[in-house]
Amino acid sequence: MSKPIELSEFANSTPNSPDEFPVIAGIDRERAKINSCQNQDFFLGMLALFIAEFEHVGETVRAEIDRGDLTAAKRRLHNLRGNAGNLGAMDLMSSAQSLELSIPHTLPDLNIQIEEVCSRIQALVQAASPWLSRPNEKSTISTDPIDAEKLSTLREALLQRNLLALTLYSELEATFSGHHNQESLYDLEQAIRQLRFEDAVSWLDEHATPTAQ
């Protein structure tokens, strides 16, 4: 079992220059860089999704074990450790793996391990918070017209569940920001990031029309 997160590590957890890959306590930076193909935006997007998905995983897992749904608890921890590993959160990955493998045991025995997973996640949430943008903090906004052809290609990609939609959306994001209410645009972003492509198409059909060139 690895040592608990030390407070000194948080000192390194503030954003440095914006073009540098983030230094976040609990994350093996070099591994994260390799795993995300050196793409800082992608890494931070994944990290935000990870936190949204697993921030309260301890409570959920505890409830699942409590009601005897061990399969669901194991699957959740399995996903947690896979994603933690992809993000470079290696200690969290190990803790999740230990807990996953201990699942045939019941609650009192697992409490310590659940607590360890929870504390690692909470530490990660705190360390990552300076890096994670909120919907009203879009860094780039463009008032250029929305490219009709690109919009149509994005819609087609979404309909086909073609993951090129993720790339196309990134390319259109700044222009969307210049033409749409940020709160509403947040719904589209979430739909795309969570791969709810049908919802994203509905959003486009309702809100997005190409602007004059």
Partner 1 sequence: MTYPEQKILIVDDDPMAIQSLYKILEGLGEIRFAISGQDCLDSLKKEAVDLVLLDANMPMMDGYSTCRKMKREFPDIPVMFVTASHDPSDEIQALEAGAVDFITKPLNPPVIQARVNTQLQLKQHGDKLRALTKSDPLTGIANRRYLDEQIELEWRRSMRNQSVLSLLMIDIDFFKAYNDHYGHIAGDACLRKIAETIQATVNRAGELAARYGGEEFAALLPQSSPERACEVADKICVAVRELHIPHAKSCISDTVTVSIGIAGGTPFFHSANYVMIEENSRDPGSIEELFTWADEALYKAKQTGRNRVILGHGGMPSA
> Token pair of 213, please?
């060139």
Look up residue 65 and give its amino acid.
I
Closer residue to partner 1, CB minimum distance, 141 or 163: 163
Report if residue 164 touches partner 1, rule: CB under 8 A.
yes
Distance CA 154, CA 160 (A): 10
> Token pair of 110, please?
């697992």
Burial of 144 (0-12, 13-18, 19+ CB in 10 A): exposed
Compose the 168-207 pattern: x for residues touching partner 1 by CB under 8 A, - for all others. Answer: -------------------------xxx------------
Closer residue to partner 1, CB minimum distance, 81 or 179: 81
> Token pair of 32, please?
């994260």
Stretch that binds partner 1, among 18-26, 32-40, 117-125, 180-188 (CB under 8 A): 32-40
**How many residues sit in the footprint of partner 1 (CB under 8 A)?**
35
Report if residue 68 touches partner 1, rule: CB under 8 A.
no
Query: How many residues belong to the chain?
Result: 213
- Binders of partner 1 among residues 74 to 103 (CB under 8 A) are 75, 78-79, 81-83, 85-86, 88, 90, 93, 97
Distance CA 64, CA 164 (A): 36
Which of 14, 39, 143, 181 touches partner 1 by CB under 8 A?
39
Q: Report the chain's C-alpha Rg in angstroms.
A: 20
**Do 66 and 73 meet the contact criterion of CB atoms below 8 Å apart?**
no
> Token pair of 168, please?
């196309």
Report if residue 62 touches partner 1, rule: CB under 8 A.
no
* Site of interaction with partner 1 (CB under 8 A): 31, 34-37, 39, 42, 45-46, 49-50, 53, 72, 75, 78-79, 81-83, 85-86, 88, 90, 93, 97, 160-164, 166-167, 193-195
